Amino acid sequence: MNQKLSKILTLVAGFIGLVAFYFFVRIVMIGDETIETDAAVQASIVSPFITFAKIILIATALIAIVFSVVNLVKHPQVLKRTLIGLGILGVFLAISYVMASDAAVTDPFGRILEDGEAGSVSKWVSTGINFSAILGVIGLGFFVVDFVKGLAK
């Protein structure tokens, strides 16, 4: 990274840190009890801090996405591997969806829970659980293989 870009990034990070420290000092000066009980104080002190945090989060996410896409476009081999990886994840997601149950959510006694009716939401929740389990088993498998290789050395 060149010197100018490094200095600019340092200044931007310092500015963000100073603004966050300003909000921190304001919150500490008011005190927890006042902030918890007084809605006007919450609106004047905590809300701007939350808005600032949201803006920084969104900006960081957008910058990460833009630079990732630019890097993928610049390096076609990396783009190819990324698309293959996304395709494999898509296959695992499809398998998880097929294995998922869309039955109603019940308690231990078999009674349907409130808002636990069968349907697409229940199916997608089950899909997410199955998808996590599949990826967890694959990750555990790679961990065990790596562990055994380490023991063999």
Summarize pLDDT for 51-99 with one digit per residue, the tens: 999 999 999 999 999 999 999 999 999 999 999 999 999 999 999 999 9
Where exactly are the structural domains of the chain? 1-74, 76-153
The per-residue DSSP string of 43-108 comes to IIIIHHHHHHHHHHHHHHHHHHHHHHHHHHHH-HHHHHHHHHHHHHHHHHHHHHHHH---PPPB-T
To the nearest whole number, what is the mean pLDDT of the chain?
Answer: 87
Q: What is the pLDDT of residue 147?
A: 95
According to DSSP, the residues that pair with 112 across neighbouring strands are: 106
Please, which pLDDT band fits residue 118 given cuts at 50, 70 and 90?
low
